[in-house]
Structure 1
Amino acid sequence: MGIKKVWFVTGASKGLGLALVKRVLSEGDQVVATSRNLADLKKTISEETADFLPLEMDLVDENSVALAIAKSMEKFGRLDVVVNNAGYGQLGTIEELTDGESRQNFDTNVFGSLNVIRKAMPHLRAQQSGMVINIASIGGFIGDFAGWGIYCATKFAMVGFTEALAAEIKEFGLYATVVMPGYFRTDFLKGSSLRTPSNEMEAYTVARELQVAHEEAINGNQPGDPEKAAVALMALAQMENPPVHLALGSDAFQMANGKLAALEKEYSEFRELSTSTDY
């Protein structure tokens, strides 16, 4: 058996995070799992063991994140795979969503992940080994979902800073990958994981129809298996040269390729205008 890897996984009490933590532990690695609710972690996974450290952590509180990283280092002495999985979906058109709703989604999905990276990076750099896996969404590459603009914007941001992070940490022997899942059969489309706008405007019929479709028709019928996603993420962590971008799920893969083809067509069509501005 190889050397045990130490994983640090946020948003670990449900969904992809929970499936990943259970799989990692079953394969013999060690895990720090964080959530806003420590009781949930202990209930869904287990109490603390030699290989498992459940921690309550508030992503948007830098001190809380720093403390969680410090406790992780105290217990395991190293970090090998940092997985930024915590986040939530925010429905609502650009006009509907308040400044507060929009900023709160960015605070959790973007700035929360940045807090974790900032606090973990000194340890990863000192080790000269390790990787960061940021769980975005295929909505971080394709934004034309009516009523999902702010959520997609948070995931586009994750894609962007992961690309920069990968370039920045390469010299230390570190890697960063942004994972863009499609629809997986988790509880993402219900409860606290998906928030609807406080100021719904019926004028936006397409957005409302898409909202209902996600809450009712798509929820429970997603094609992706969270258990297989966990296996894929473990395979990613074993790679000698992992990719910077990874679409996860056949639906995400298909959508990504559709976007690439559409971009190529659009850029080619307007090439003359694009290249008309040089001296």
Structure 2
Amino acid sequence: MTRTWFITGASRGLGRAFTEAALAAGDQVVGVARDIVPLDELVAASGGRLVTFPLDVSDRAAVFAGVERAFAAFGRLDVVVNNAGGAMLGMVEEVTEQQARKHLDTNFFGALWVNQAVVPHLREQASGHIMQVSSMGSAGGFAATGMYSAGKAALDAMSEALAMEVERFGIKVTILQPGGYQTELFTRGLTTTAEYEAYGQLREWLAGLWSESEDFDPALAAEVVLRVANMAEPPKRLILGGAAYDMVDQMTRTRTAELAKWESLSRQAD
């Protein structure tokens, strides 16, 4: 059966890779983004299987109207990929109120609005698969990425609740936690704070640490996501990338060890 995908942030990076993979598999895609011009060539070559229109997911009313438009394009939605988002680098002390609110408006509230808009359609169909593009960074806060991790951690928690709420309607939810990929997330999609001198040495250390990291081809992630979409019982949470898996595994082990270290003190509180 030909599926219909609804992909936010579809014009670049992971969203673009997901769009190309779905089309290559013979599926139909409604791809939205603030700037859809990069998708024009794909639209022309899709034979009508790719429909695009501009959408800012931080605008709740626009999201609801956009989902209605997407549903009307092909008559149903089968896979919804909440991919739209941006990155923020800066120490917690440095983040302005405007930056914090704008960042969360896209990275967290944007996904919330899409979820609220699509669930009635998926419930009526008694089927559908929502994929939330989170991040390996949601596994724990890290210096200079606190706001980004906070938004993704909030997305994870909301998605876990959503999964419990909609599973009885035949709707599946998968949290995707990608590692580093060759996208424009930390260039075109990056917001930075004004740098306080007090954090100079920490920034130098972070720059050296990140210079050793490797980013991978988004097409590799897209191949895995396509396989997840084909599963009758897909994972509820999936880390994308071996390097990301190792890092999340280490963070989880460290957190578990910290819990165990203070178990006796915790038990004295009740």
Residue pairs, 1:150-189, within 5 angstroms: 150-189=147-186
For 2:269 and 2:106, locate their aligned partners in 1 and report how far apart those are by CA, in whole Å: 39
Query: How far apart, in 2, do the equivalents of 1:121 and 1:80 lie?
Result: 11
* Equivalent position of 1:222 in the other structure: 214
Using the TM superposition, name which of 223-232 and 96-105 deviates more: 223-232
Q: CA RMSD in A?
A: 1.7
Partner Cα separation in structure 2 for residue 125 and residue 254 of structure 1: 36
Shift of 1:224: 2.3
Q: Counterparts of 1:45-56 in structure 2 under 5 Å?
A: 45-47=42-44, 49-56=47-54
How far did 1:245 drift?
1.1
**TM-score, structure 1 length as denominator?**
0.91
Check whether the contact 1:7–1:31 (CA below 8 A) recurs between aligned residues: yes
Deviation at 1:37, TM superposition (A): 1.5
Rounded to whole Å, the distance in 1 between the matches of 2:59 and 2:123 is 23
SS of the aligned residue for 1:240 comes to coil
Give the letter for the 2:211 counterpart.
Answer: A
**Aligned with 1:194 (options 190, 193, 198):** 190
Q: Give CA-to-partner distance per residue, 1:175-208, whole Å, 9 cap, x none.
A: 11111111112222212x11111x2112113552
Identify unmatched segments of 5+ residues in structure 2: none
Cα deviation code 1:140-190 (max 9, x no counterpart): 1121x2111011100101111111111111111111111111111222221
Alignment check: 8 A CA contact 2:43 2:51 kept: no
Residue segments in structure 1 that go unaligned for 5+ positions in a row: none
Aligned CA distance change for structure 1 residues 82 and 259 (closer, same or farther; 3 Å): same
Deviations 1:3-60, CA, capped at 9 Å, x for gaps:
01100000011100001101110110000000102323325x3247421111111111
- Answer yes or no: is 1:268 the counterpart of 2:260: yes
Matched letter for residue 196 of structure 1:
T
Aligned equivalents of 2:66 and 2:47: distance in 1? 16
Aligned length, in residue pairs: 269
Number of the residue aligned with 1:39: 37
Supply the distance in 1 between the matched residues of 2:205 and 2:152 (Cα, whole angstroms). Answer: 19
Aligned to 2:104: 106
C-alpha change, 1:210 and 1:249, in structure 2 (3 Å) is farther
Contact 2:63–2:114 (CA<8 Å) still a contact in 1?
A: yes
Deviation sequence 1:214-257 (CA, Å, 0-9, x none) = 8x836xx6342211100001111111111211111111100111
Aligned identity (percent) is 37
TM-score (norm 2): 0.94
Q: 1:30 to 1:210 in 2, by over 3 A?
A: farther
